[in-house]
Structure 1
Amino acid sequence: MRNNKSGITRRGLLQTGMAAATVAAGGLAMNLLSPFSAEAASKTLPAKWDKTFDVIVIGSGFAGLAAAAEAAESGLSVVIVEKMPLYGGNSIINGGEYNSWTDKLKLRQSLNLGDDSAELHKSDTLKGGDFYGDPELIELLTDNSSDALNWMVDEGGLKLRHILNRTGGHSAYRTHTCVEGVGRGYTEALKRIAEKRGVKFMLNTPVSWLWRASEEKPVIGVETDVRGRKRNLKANKAVIMASGGFSQDKVMRMEFNPSIVPEYNCTNQPGATGEMLRYAQAIGAETMHLAFIQLYPYAEPETGILDSPAVYPFRGPGYGMIAVDKNGNRFVNDLERRDVVSRAEINTGMKPTYSIFNEAMIPLMGTKDEVEAGLKKGRFVKADSVEELAQKLGMKPDVLAGTVKKHNKYLRQGNDPDFGKPITDKMIPIEKGPFYGIAQWPAVHHTMGGVRINKQTQVIDIWGNVIPNLYACGESTGGIHGINRLGGNAIPDAVVFGRIAGRNAAK
């Protein structure tokens, strides 16, 4: 029988569950993993603890920072355990986009960008995930995203750009951007709140196990493994999983979704692997939607990096940016959600594709300094005419010029008969230069599956019961986004559910 690295098949869990529960009574830790998995060895519960905290948070991204900050507000001892040498995980290199129907700055109203509501955001999110997402969890996300955004502004000093974008899959202009233009703007705000409340950090400290005696018992702590040295940390109140997804775990990706082949680039940092999901399964946690893995359609084609220029094609379609293939032809509704755009790119059979925009769009989706920096790095290509831009991108000038002219006509008539893109009066015709292009191609970006949680962010086991003292939030959870996560929903998801987890863990 082949070695199952992830070891988290439901059949294996159920087959070994009774035996593991029986030996747990004799002093062994609970372990329901398949006997053929790498983590299947018997483990003895700690006889003593190296350190004790009230709440242990695993992971230092958006979700972990928010959870730790809220758990520490009442004076509890809280530690964030992070396996990487730097804090922030994927969050610190995130694109910096945050969806909220409103904000304390009233940007939508001041920019005259139409109507929106929490209910409309909920509807878009449900539809964007093909209705696989849990409506109650989505409602928590959309109802609380504004409060979470304002909390980071008020308590953490977060600063927002005075722009608002309509991005793929959304029916309103609701995507906010921090002044830094990357996720670091939010993580720094959250870190300030957490440190102000006394949260401690343990970096370079991978968690290697979750301690639980049996399916009737609570989670009592974690094991860490720092270069072979095992240490046990006790949690008096709770452990919060905020360890992120598994986009960098190629074996795990292939096991649950064979179409996500190893040849795909990945936007994530190297620590985005799935071991915490296996450890959670070992103590009975149910998982869901692990096959739902997202490609980001606008990554740098050769490396898969999500740099500052790679966010422009995400922000721009709401203001008139278009995507074209290597021949200069449109191939998709530019305001479609990420999975649709990624499939359309791949179906062109030509790598890469390009996004095309002009100078007038830049202040609506970014800054001139960012674009100038991107030009110096060769990420953006600039030209004085559409025909010159086509030549620089290796296209036939008459084809790209014809594509742009036709799209400009569609904007004026308010209808896109080719691809059905919803046209708004905020979209700018690509008529006045300079003109810009940027190459793009799909890369693995986000895993929508993870452990099952309830509205209190408590982790649910395979028997449908709450696992006492174990909470989860952020990308380590499943059931919120469904088959596809709408861009800009990751940060509010992590911060909203992180706050809920922290508050409940502290009770």
Structure 2
Amino acid sequence: MSAANTVVELGGRSLLLDKSSFCGGNSTKATSGINGAGTKTQKTKSIPDNAEIFIADTLKGGAKKPELAKVLCANSAADVDWLVDKFDLDLSLVARLGGHSQPRTHRGKERFPGMTITYALIQMLEKVAEKTNRARIITKAEVFKLVQSGRAVVGCEYRKAGKVVKEFGPMVLASGGFGADFGSDSLLATYRPDLLHLPTTNGEHCTGDAIKMGEAIGAATIDLEWVQVHPTGLVKPDDPDAKVKFLAAEALRGVGGLVLDANGQRFCNELGRRDYVTGEMWKNKPPFRLCLNRAAADEIIWHAKHYTGRGVMKFYPTGEDLAKDMGVPIQTLIDTHQKHFEAAKKQEKDRPDAIGSSAFSSVLQTCRLDACADPDGGPLPAYPSGKTWDEPSGKTGSGKKFFHNIIDGSKVASEPFYVAIITPVIHYCMGGLECTVDAECIDKTGKAIPGLYVAGEAAGGIHGNNRLGGNSLLDCVVFGRVAGKAACDLAVGMRMGRMGWVKREVLHGVTKVQENQANMVNTI
């Protein structure tokens, strides 16, 4: 949708094919938000973030290709602002997710941010399709083959209602990963058979179609073995073995949610990398619970009530009720929260943004974080850097450094909680078709395949061996925009050249002309 809307903005025409009966895919399920460094929203909140800090966090988080990480992060502010300005979206709330040194994950006050963003993009493209000939959307259309002329991709074939149809033009592949590809000959079985027993958050459409079609014409793949297992799949008590599970947004931990083992103890840094939190869960005793106190739940109440309505989260009037349901002494929960509270208070002296959003905002008005922080505070190693006073996470080597919406242990017995049972789930495929900074697919010799572009989860190499929360929607928007522009450039070049494929280097001047044609579409 980002690619198609970008093509339309640049004065081109787009055809969007989706094998499902409706558009949206997994993007509508994205629950935490979209990252942006240096956005208008951040500036209004005096958050001192920029592309350089974001790039460093992304590379430390697992990315291995600095040139792709730079595109992702450097474009983030402009592209998040594009969503807000062009589509009139509410992305006014900002949270800090695991692996991020700054609060930069944007969401709105209501609904899941993936749903909000994707529906807005869909509705705009539908409006363009209704009022102009610039866009078409065809659902229940399963693309199964790329059409080539020499090395170049010049179109595709798809099946709809028992018929095979051909369409021509540059192709942008954006069909997601293979997190629901459970067949014996699937990509999951080939590259990560050890994960086949796990449930997934992916829709059944996620079977790696784009990757398989690209491979069929010699496109290179990368990092297919890196499949992200998310630590917080939601377990429905009356259907605990369901293969497809709802996802608990990482933002639930960002606002202060704690992860407890079967004994009511914390055992990890809730804001650590996803692979780290999952790894610590494997080492400890299930069932695991994600617990939000009143302040944390109030900050993300739409999510909490939605999950409760779905039967995958439960409201407890008091901590006493929670302890009874868990089968642990209330004193255990009191002690667990008290240790967390005391660690946060000690850390507060080192990181003045440590406690609560109001304190965070007020301190930032008068003091830069990097000037106030004491990297030597605490006796244990912290993530992403520095030291921590938090013993349960610190002893894992990846200690908690940022604390939010903490409560004193003495309040636990009478405090209300929103709580969910959680389990690791297959969530995201970091690997996919290898691409350039212009979203061009490349072959096994490293040369770009003319006419073939990739964006979103189908693209590999952008996140390395671990994706940070909030970078998925961003990946879709940034590389969707990049791919849409590159495909539009190429289509214009083909028309201007009239003789096969024109080198992209000569097309950028033409793009300026196309940008001037966007005004008509933007008035719809």
- Residue aligning to 2:106: 176
* In 2: Cα distance, 1:233 partner to 1:116 partner: 44
* In 2: Cα distance, 1:398 partner to 1:425 partner: 22
- Residue aligning to 1:400: 333
TM-score by length of 2: 0.77
Task: Report the structure, 1 or 2, having the larger helix content.
Answer: 2
- Residue aligning to 1:412: 345
Q: Does 1:429 align with 2:362?
A: no
- Residue aligning to 2:195: 260
- Residue aligning to 2:224: 290
Letter in 2 for 1:477: A
Deviations 1:360-402 (A, max 9, x none): 12233x12x5434433444333334433311123333332222
Offset of residue 195 of structure 1: 3.6
CA RMSD of aligned residues (A): 2.0
Letter in 1 for 2:10: S
Q: Of the candidates 207, 213, 218, which is equivalent to residue 273 of structure 1?
A: 207
Q: What secondary structure does 2:281 align onto?
A: helix
Q: What secondary structure does 2:422 align onto?
A: strand
- Residue aligning to 1:153: 84
Q: 1:248 to 1:152 in 2, by over 3 A?
A: same
Letter in 2 for 1:181: F
Equivalences for residues 260-409 of structure 1 within 5 A: 260-261=195-196, 263-301=197-235, 302=240, 303=242, 307=246, 310-311=248-249, 314-350=250-286, 352-364=287-299, 366-367=300-301, 369-409=302-342
Offset of residue 307 of structure 1: 4.1
Letter in 2 for 1:248: A
- Residue aligning to 1:139: 70
* Stretch moving more, 114-123 or 422-431: 422-431
* In 1: Cα distance, 2:60 partner to 2:67 partner: 14
- Residue aligning to 2:14: 78
Offset of residue 92 of structure 1: 1.5
CA contact (8 A) 1:166 1:317 kept: no
CA contact (8 A) 2:256 2:403 kept: no
Q: What secondary structure does 1:382 align onto?
A: strand
Offset of residue 109 of structure 1: 4.6
Runs of 5+ in structure 2 lacking a partner? 129-133, 348-388, 490-524
Q: 1:461 to 1:370 in 2, by over 3 A?
A: closer
Letter in 1 for 2:220: E
Q: 1:289 to 1:85 in 2, by over 3 A?
A: same
* Stretch moving more, 242-251 or 419-428: 419-428
Q: 1:409 to 1:96 in 2, by over 3 A?
A: closer
Offset of residue 322 of structure 1: 1.5
Deviations 1:235-270 (A, max 9, x none): 2xx111111111001232121122212x21110111
* In 2: Cα distance, 1:177 partner to 1:289 partner: 29
- Residue aligning to 1:242: 174
Offset of residue 158 of structure 1: 1.4
CA contact (8 A) 2:142 2:158 kept: yes
Offset of residue 173 of structure 1: 1.0
- Residue aligning to 2:472: 490
* In 2: Cα distance, 1:157 partner to 1:276 partner: 31
User: Aligned residues, how many?
Assistant: 426
Q: Does 1:69 align with 2:5?
A: yes
Q: 1:81 to 1:328 in 2, by over 3 A?
A: same
Q: 1:370 to 1:482 in 2, by over 3 A?
A: closer
Offset of residue 152 of structure 1: 1.2
* In 1: Cα distance, 2:39 partner to 2:297 partner: 23
Percentage of pairs with the same residue: 32
* In 2: Cα distance, 1:483 partner to 1:89 partner: 23
* In 2: Cα distance, 1:144 partner to 1:451 partner: 21
Letter in 2 for 1:170: H
Q: 1:389 to 1:194 in 2, by over 3 A?
A: same
- Residue aligning to 2:359: none
Letter in 1 for 2:212: R
Q: Of the candidates 41, 44, 50, which is equivalent to residue 117 of structure 1?
A: 50
Q: What secondary structure does 1:277 align onto?
A: helix
- Residue aligning to 1:449: 431
Q: What secondary structure does 2:72 align onto?
A: helix
* In 2: Cα distance, 1:94 partner to 1:86 partner: 17
* Stretch moving more, 314-323 or 354-363: 314-323
Letter in 2 for 1:247: G
- Residue aligning to 1:59: none
Equivalences for residues 212-227 of structure 1 within 5 A: 212-214=148-150, 217-227=151-161
- Residue aligning to 1:5: none
TM-score by length of 1: 0.79
Letter in 1 for 2:330: P
Q: 1:327 to 1:104 in 2, by over 3 A?
A: same
Offset of residue 329 of structure 1: 1.1
* In 1: Cα distance, 2:192 partner to 2:177 partner: 14
* In 2: Cα distance, 1:234 partner to 1:381 partner: 51
* In 2: Cα distance, 1:395 partner to 1:225 partner: 56
Runs of 5+ in structure 1 lacking a partner? 1-64
Offset of residue 180 of structure 1: 1.8
- Residue aligning to 2:94: 164
Q: What secondary structure does 2:438 align onto?
A: coil
Q: What secondary structure does 1:80 align onto?
A: strand
Letter in 1 for 2:176: G
* In 2: Cα distance, 1:100 partner to 1:291 partner: 28
* In 1: Cα distance, 2:140 partner to 2:267 partner: 45
Q: 1:395 to 1:213 in 2, by over 3 A?
A: farther
Offset of residue 196 of structure 1: 4.7
Q: What secondary structure does 2:103 align onto?
A: coil
Q: 1:201 to 1:486 in 2, by over 3 A?
A: same
Q: Does 1:208 align with 2:138?
A: no
